[in-house]
Amino acid sequence: MVNGFLKTFPESQDKIKVLIVPHAGYPYSGAVAGEGFSHIAKETKTVIILGSSHNEYFQGAAVYDKGAWETPLGIINVDEEKAGKLISARDGIVSNFVLHKNEHALEVELPFLQEQLANFKIVPILIGAFNSDLEKALSEKISKIFDENTVLVVSSDLSHYSTEEVAEKVDKEVISAILSKDPVVLDQRIKDIMEAGYENLVTCACGESAIKVGLRVARMIGADRGELFSYANSGNLTGSNSRVVGYASIGFLESASQISSGEKTALLRLARSSLQEFLEKGTRLWANDFASEDLRNFPIAEAKMGAFVTLLKNGNLRGCIGMIESEDPLWKTVAEMAVSAGVNDPRFPKVTLDELKDIEIEISLLTPKRKITSPSEIELGKHGVWLQKGIRRGVFLPQVATETGWSKEEFLNQLCSQKAGLPESCWKDKDTEIYVFEAEVFKEA
């Protein structure tokens, strides 16, 4: 049955990093789940499985951090190293096997994984009752154990027990909110739906808390493209449309980079050598012709595009300067912005040569900005935002939303007040111009 639900798709350069799938009986939701699991890369080595508790009431999150789980298809070991890094009693994230004992929402996903993947481990996490602080803490901890061979699977059905007509309407709205990648949007959408008083609708998503964590993680790890793979409800399958449950498989993908690892390395070396030369000699590298031989061989060196250089010290911002657009070749823009980030950012004292060894350099290469007509077009984590009203302007890079966990409203409020020196709500004014752009972000290892 599981093999019948799994499909074969052409190899893609895009890798799915977060997958939301249903967990009902296979005759009901198996086909929807199977289409989602079919998109998981076969080289995946660790699958974090996250769900909301259906049977036990508890505060926080319970991690199954040791041992193994077994299905008729064999034994799957827990990734004990990654699971152990999640435990934080202070945040309400604990090791607890008992709470997992009677829960089906996680283990029902395993046969799909066993048929799709050759060799993998799991990190099972069950969520109980918890607030937004714990939601953020768990999201941050999960994002920190991610690597290129890790996938997060979120287990949740959608609407429960309304008529098929209501289910299709409600599920469409919830799926749209999920694809926004904003947990605040999802939370408000669900509240609005439940307050509408649809008959027999008891929930819009039984794994709502798990989905919200999944959305935060997707933003934090740069899985910036959401895609609905499949949708159905039980009425489609049984013919009984008076009391149905909705199912969807939704993936969040990390698009393949358009810039090679060699180009990234060369640009980072150029940024560091430019800043170092200025701090040592007071001279600018780009004034001495194009000195970075390892970058000269790459076509991107001459591309004309916006770029920001960010300096980090012990993980904290130490300087950030950039240009949204540039008529100079990229090598010159990066070299110049590296120096400016070190000595011209008015928020910080000038970087000294002694502290350069403790500085980590990050580069953001920007797509051309485009004007939008409504803030609803902004996708947090994907879009940087450039805002202007009168002579005042401000910009936030896409990673600001990811790093802060701000909602869209918080993001725009801070952009107005912190960056543009305007009232927080200025983004709502008709005469405020708003532009969005995207960024390829990479930093030194």
Domains of the chain: 2-254 (3.40.830.10), 261-443 (3.30.700.20)
pLDDT mean over 173-193: 91
Q: The tokens of 388 are what?
A: 């202007």
Statement: residue 287 has pLDDT above 90: no
Nearest to 357 by CA among 313, 396, 394: 313
pTM above threshold 0.85? no
| Phi/psi-derived region of residue 145, left when phi > 0, alpha when psi is between -120 and 50, beta in every other case | alpha
Q: Does residue 216 contact residue 405 with C-beta atoms inside 8 Å?
A: yes
pLDDT at position 12: 56
- The pLDDT tens digits of the residues spanning 430-444 come to 999 999 998 888 999
| CA–CA separation, 8 and 209 (whole Å) | 31
pLDDT confidence band for 11 (50 / 70 / 90): low
Report the relative pairing of strands 307-313 and 359-366 from DSSP bridges. Answer: antiparallel
Q: The tokens of 272 are what?
A: 């560091």
pLDDT mean over 32-53: 95
Q: The tokens of 330 are what?
A: 């990229």
pLDDT confidence band for 219 (50 / 70 / 90): confident
Arithmetic mean of pLDDT over the chain: 90
Exposed/middle/buried for residue 303 (C-beta within 10 Å: 0-12, 13-18, 19+): middle
pLDDT at position 261: 76
pLDDT mean over 114-128: 96
- The pLDDT tens digits of the residues spanning 136-159 come to 999 999 998 998 899 999 999 999
> Comparing 97 with 224, which gets the higher pLDDT?
97
- The pLDDT tens digits of the residues spanning 315-368 come to 899 999 999 988 888 888 999 999 999 999 999 999 999 999 999 999 999 988
pLDDT mean over 33-60: 94
Statement: residue 293 has pLDDT above 60: no
> Which of 292-301, 342-351, 377-386 has the highest mean predicted lDDT (pLDDT)?
342-351
| CA–CA separation, 165 and 162 (whole Å) | 8
